Each structure stands twice: as C-alpha cells, then as structure tokens.
C-alpha cells in the first residue's frame, strides 16, 4: 500500500496550512478578503455555444448547412429542387481541466467565512482563463488554417485568415516579418472589415478583441475616443466601444503569435487580435464548472475541487480573422 502522506494530492507547499493561510486569520489581517483580480473574460459569450450537459459521448456532430440559390421559374415547369450539400462538423469534447485546494481544519476553524469564497472565486477565474485561452487558440483554424492548435507556434498563424499592417499595406502574415512600426490603424481595421464583407459574413454578431497594446494605440485615434465610440465605461466583459458595427473588447488573453526572441525582424512580441463573427468558433460544453468537496481524515483537511469539460472547434473558418499586431 502506498504511503498516503506522499500521495498524489499531497506535495510540498500544496496544503494550505496555518502559516500559508495567515492572511485569512482575523488576528493578522482585516476581516475583509479581497478576491483576486478577476480577469475580464470575453470569448465564451461571443462564440457559438452548445450545451450538452447530461449527454454521453466524446464527440458532438454539428450540421453545417450550405446556402442554396434562387432558380428561375418558367411557366408550366416544375420547381428546381435544391441539392442537399450539407456537411457536419465533429467537435471532440476533450478539454478537461481542474482546480483543487486542500485546506486544513485549523484554517477553516480560525479563518473567516470568506476563505472558501476566495478559493471558489479563484477556481472559477482559473478555469475561465483556460477556456478563454483555448478559444483564442481556435484562431489557428481560421482561413485555411485547418485543425485548431492549442499550443500554437508562429507558423500555425501562417494561413489565409491572418494579416498584419505592413507599413500601410494589409499583408498576409508570415513569421519574422512584423516590426514595432506595424501598428494597428483605422485603415487596417477597415481593410479587415472589408474582408469579412467579401466573405458574406453577417453584419450582426461581429466582434474585435484586442490586446492592451492596441487599446493604447487606438486611444490616440480621434474616432476611437469620440462619444460615438466610447460606451462611457469599461464593463466586466471588457467591451470598450463599437465602431463600424463591430463591438470592440480588450483582453490580456490575446495570444502571443511570436515572441520577440524568435522574431528576427523586431524586438517586440507579436500578439493576435481577433476579428470574428459568433459563428466562427463553436464551444461544446459537456460539463459546466462543477464544484466538489471531500474530507481527508488522514490530513484533517477538506479537498475542494472544481472542474470543467468542453470542446472547441472552428465552425465557419471564413468568418474569422487574426490581426497580427506588435505588443508595444
């Protein structure tokens, strides 16, 4: 029998002991616990979400109907039947993540009730960040990118759905090309909107998610700070305004396409801003955030665990674009 004191869930610094939880004991700190900063998560509410709670199987099949066309009708002739060209998208539900804490009894006895609330909020934050990161990674499948790469390299963004502002010219992205001067501009944004229009992407449901560096850039563009654009305040979703019918969000979760150390053309990181329609990405949720507790008598502690299970895939690759931008 394995030594339980060296079990998988008992490792150095893994247990929240009295010393580690000192900040939660009223004798040392105030009786208010300020939850960790909740990063504004943007992607999940903006994509096509399918709930499959309680359903079995690890693959979900989603129909992808194709548009038909109108046919001329001649007198005394039969109607033209539309050809059935429907396909399907298979989404593997294989993204399973968890967050766990082991809290000793003495901590629960002496700490405020807000201790568990803090860890609960922290667990939800950590899992939500993971979901958001996976949805951002789905952009590797835009254009002709193919399968989604959840740990992408710069070469995974070299597809027909990724562009950058090359000294005033909208150019398809390749690695080792973007420099600090290739910043986001209004003309670049309009070019990318036109690409969506050319692809017959619906006008409603469009979003642009930008990294903080781009927000800093657009604050110097008059139209982006006018009353027509600014919402008045940054809401929890990260929404900062609307321009040309596109809701604009800011997120620190925008992926790094290429680190400065890997870019022979520049000394700044390359980040991925995303311009997309809600149908560009699909997220299938088989298990929402679930919380469980179990008492561990051998440690006189309670194990708290939260987990989630979902799948992410590109649904309409022509309805999403990556805007490669410098990080500073």
Distance from C-alpha of 112 to C-alpha of 32, rounded to nearest angstrom: 8
**Mean pLDDT of all residues belonging to the chain:** 81
Q: pLDDT tens digits, residue range 65-122?
A: 677 778 788 888 888 877 776 777 788 899 999 988 888 887 766 665 666 667 777 7
Q: Are residues 208 and 255 in the same domain?
A: yes
DSSP 188: H
Is 199 in contact with 67 (CB distance < 8 Å)? no
Within-domain flag for 81: no
Strand 246-250 relative to strand 206-210, pairing = parallel
Residues 308 and 319 both lie in one domain: no
CA dist 128 and 90 (Å) reads 23
Q: Are residues 273 and 193 in the same domain?
A: yes
Whether residue 269 lies inside any domain: the answer is: yes
Question: Closest by alpha carbon to 247, among 193, 191, 209, 197?
Answer: 209
173, 123: one domain: no
Residues 245 and 158 in one domain: yes
pLDDT digits 0-9 by tens, 267-300: 899 999 999 999 999 999 898 777 777 889 999 9
Please give the DSSP secondary-structure letter assigned to residue 37: P
The answer to whether 97 and 310 are in contact (CB under 8 A) is no
Taking only the tens place, the pLDDT of each residue in 146-182 is 889 999 999 999 999 999 999 999 999 999 999 999 9
Task: Say what the pLDDT of residue 267 is.
Answer: 87
CATH number of the domain to which 204 belongs: 3.30.1930
Give CA–CA dist 130/43, Å, rounded.
Answer: 11
- Give the separation between CA 311 and CA 326, rounded to whole angstroms: 30
The predicted pLDDT at position 11 comes to 64
Does a structural domain hold residue 264?
A: yes
d(CA 288, CA 20): 30
Same domain, 125 and 153: no
Cβ–Cβ under 8 Å, residues 295 and 249: no
Structure tokens at 55: 């359903």
Average pLDDT value for residue range 309-325: 95
Assign 3-state DSSP to the chain and report helix, strand, coil percentages, each to 5.
Answer: 25, 30, 45
Percent of the chain residues topping a pLDDT of 70: 80
Indicate the pLDDT class of residue 128, thresholds 50, 70 and 90.
confident
Asked, for residue 232, whether it belongs to a domain, the answer is: yes
Whether residue 170 is contained in a domain is answered as yes
In a domain, 85, yes or no: no
Same-domain check for residues 156 and 119: no
Residues 190 and 321 in one domain: yes
291 membership: H or E segment, kind and range: strand 281-296
Tokens encoding 203: 């006008």
183 and 322 housed in the same domain: yes
Q: Band the pLDDT of 59: cuts 50, 70, 90.
A: confident
Say yes or no: 224 and 157 in one domain.
yes
Q: What's the rounded mean pLDDT across residues 1-24?
A: 57
Q: Tell me what pLDDT residue 231 has.
A: 53
The pLDDT value given to residue 55: 76
pLDDT of residue 119: 76
Contact 154, 71 (CB under 8 A): no
Q: Compute the distance between CA of residue 126 and CA of residue 120 in angstroms, rounded to an integer.
A: 10
Q: Is residue 121 part of a domain?
A: yes
E-strand spans in 223-269? Answer: 239-243, 246-250, 256-258
Segments forming the whole domain that contains residue 213 = 149-282+315-326
Residue 311 has pLDDT above 70, yes or no: yes
Based on the domain organization, do 119 and 207 belong to the same domain?
A: no
Q: Please tell me whether residues 116 and 34 are part of one structural domain.
A: yes
Total structural domains within the chain: 2
The answer to whether residue 183 sits within a structural domain is yes
pLDDT at 19: 58
Q: State what percent of residues in the chain have pLDDT above 90.
A: 44
Flag whether the pTM goes above 0.85. Answer: no
């Amino acid at each position: 029998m394995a030594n339980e004191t060296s079990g998988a869930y008992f490792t150095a610094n893994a247990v929240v002991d009295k010393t580690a939880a000192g900040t939660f004991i009223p004798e040392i700190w105030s009786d208010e616990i300020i939850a960790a900063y909740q990063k504004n998560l943007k992607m999940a509410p903006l994509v096509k979400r399918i709930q499959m709670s309680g359903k079995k199987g690890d693959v979900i099949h989603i129909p992808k109907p194709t548009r038909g066309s109108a046919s001329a009708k001649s007198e005394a002739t039969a109607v033209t039947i539309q050809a059935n060209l429907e396909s399907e998208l298979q989404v593997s539900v294989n993204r399973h993540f968890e967050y766990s804490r082991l809290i000793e009894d003495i901590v629960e006895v002496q700490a405020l009730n807000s201790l568990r609330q803090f860890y609960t909020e922290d667990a939800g934050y950590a899992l939500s960040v993971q979901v958001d990161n996976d949805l951002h990674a789905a952009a590797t499948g835009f254009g002709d990118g193919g399968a989604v790469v959840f740990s992408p390299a710069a070469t995974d963004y070299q597809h027909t759905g990724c562009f950058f502002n090359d000294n005033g010219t909208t150019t398809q992205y390749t690695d080792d090309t973007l420099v600090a001067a290739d910043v986001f501009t209004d003309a670049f944004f309009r070019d990318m909107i036109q690409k969506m229009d050319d692809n017959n992407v619906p006008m409603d449901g469009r979003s642009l998610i930008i990294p903080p560096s781009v927000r800093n850039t657009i604050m110097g563009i008059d139209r982006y700070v006018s009353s027509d654009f600014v919402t008045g305040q940054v809401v929890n979703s990260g929404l900062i305004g609307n321009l040309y019918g596109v809701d604009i969000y800011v997120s620190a979760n925008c992926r790094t396409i290429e680190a400065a150390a890997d870019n022979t053309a520049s000394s700044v990181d390359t980040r991925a801003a995303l311009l997309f329609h809600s149908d560009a990405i699909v997220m299938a949720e088989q298990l929402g955030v679930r919380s469980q507790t179990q008492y561990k008598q051998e440690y006189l502690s309670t194990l708290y665990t939260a987990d989630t299970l979902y799948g992410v895939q590109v649904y309409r690759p022509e309805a999403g674009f990556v805007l490669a931008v410098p990080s500073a």
